[in-house]
Amino acid sequence: MGKNIGLVWLRDDFRLKKNLALINATKKHDQVVAFYLYKSKKLDNQEAQKWWINKSLKEFKNKLINYNINLEVIKIDSYKLFFDKLILKKNFSLYWNKIYEPNYLKFDQYLSKNFSSKGIKFYVFKGNILNEFNEINKSDGTPFKVFTPFWRNAEKYYLEKIPSNNKIISKCAKKVSYFKNTIKENDIFPKKKWYNKFENYWQPSEDKALNELKKFIDNRIENYSEARNFPNLLGTSKLSPFIKHGQIHVETIWEECVKIKRKGVGKFLAEIGWREFNHSLINSFPYMVKENYSKKFNKFPWEKNIKFLSAWKKGLTGYPIVDAGMRELYSTGWMHNRVRMITGSFLVKHLLINWKEGEKHFRNCLLDYNEANNVSGWQWVAGCGADAAPYFRIFNPILQGEKFDKEGDYVKKWVPELKNVPKKFVHKPWEINDDNILKLDKDYPRPIVNHEKARSKALEAFKKI
């Protein structure tokens, strides 16, 4: 194949709009092939996402056909080995968008060095982010460690240089194939069958993402500041899985939000700001991907308790708001943000189990798993992250439930054992003392720890560091 072909390496980029790698490849080549590298071992710890990726590949493949572009899926054992073989062909130019995780950016440098030495043309573009993480620093050039000043500077910087990325993908002359031994999308499905339930809640596609954004702006953004705290309400955007897998670019979200002047817009965009801040953190302090940002926590007396950890994962802790969140996660691949904080706090502060165990479980179960958000979020809850919650903030799961799920609707949806429990007791069912309504230990477990005792024990443990 003598003609120079544009190869577009897709990763978290399942969109046409603001996909700079794809747009630029079709501008420069009349033959373009998109490819996705499926490294099974990498996704073994991200089981839920296999379902989303499978659906995304099928949908995007059909979309690209309209532009005479093939999307080919290749199973690999090693990114390095794949590209070392590809570089020998020399009849292509390579295009890709960045992913802002330390290992990906490090690999970008490896590819850039190798391709340059071989004289192969390659083009690397800004990924799904407003600002490059290293563009936002303090006046002394060091990275921000506190969110509010970071976002104030990041917002101002972005407003001053908003890019005009409204170019669109071009149709290629004809559809061609490039790689041998491609695989079917179904080969990516997770081994566990829990993903069957996801069909009831999600439709992974760019069109769906854009439609969800429109519905959120039209109907919910005005009440976002308050409604986002109540898990029984549809108060959030639920765009996070689409953002993670690139069905929508955060610049598109920004553009659509700033068109309107309504209450709630600033608060919602600040959540995009947290995502930017988290990416800045893990790239400025890459050790925090696997370790505590605050190194004094390296001496924290975490406890290993397989029984408690299992009860937490299964939603059988005896605390209804915690159990509802964990069951929502398993059934839908998503959990309400307020409940993420409650369940996270319960694991690390009531059970004194290392945040890494929670991060690992969420990584496996979340459709919107993002390294920066997940690691930073867990460290925020544990108190060992940058700009983290203070150690003495220990969410009371009873009061949190009574405040944010007053009628018990959220709990009863995900913990149906409690559907007949009066709202007075729905967040503390152990106080009922009526076997006709609920048999404790048989219908629903008693609390695995006493809140007050667990809180005191946690405070003592925190004082040690």
Active site (catalytic) residues: 271, 274, 302, 337, 355, 378
Burial class (CB in 10 A: 0-12, 13-18, 19+), 37: middle
Structure tokens at 155: 């917002």
Spacing of C-alpha 72 from chain mean position: 25
CA 112 – CA 12 distance, rounded (Å): 19
Beta strands at 32-39 and 122-125: parallel, antiparallel or unpaired:
unpaired
CA 228 – CA 235 distance, rounded (Å): 5
Q: Dihedral of CA 439/441/442/443: which sign?
A: positive
Nearest-5° Cα angle at 230, 194 to 46 = 30
Q: What is the distance in angstroms between the CA of the first residue and the CA of the last residue of the chain?
A: 64
CA 61 – CA 426 distance, rounded (Å): 47
Q: Dihedral of CA 282/284/290/295: which sign?
A: negative
CA 7 – CA 22 distance, rounded (Å): 9
Helix (H) or strand (E) holding 298: none
Helix (H) or strand (E) holding 157: helix 147-160
Phi then psi for residue 95, to 5 deg, are -130, 135
The DSSP letter of residue 387 is T
Instruction: Taking each helix axis as running N to C, give the angle between helix 320-332 and helix 355-365, from 0 to 180 degrees, rounded to the nearest 10.
Output: 40
The DSSP letter of residue 137 is B
CA 34 – CA 120 distance, rounded (Å): 18
CA 22 – CA 95 distance, rounded (Å): 7
Phi then psi for residue 296, to 5 deg, are -65, -20
CA 124 – CA 200 distance, rounded (Å): 37
Neighbours of 43 (CB within 10 A): 16
Contact between residue 414 and residue 331 where contact means Cβ atoms under 8 Å apart: yes
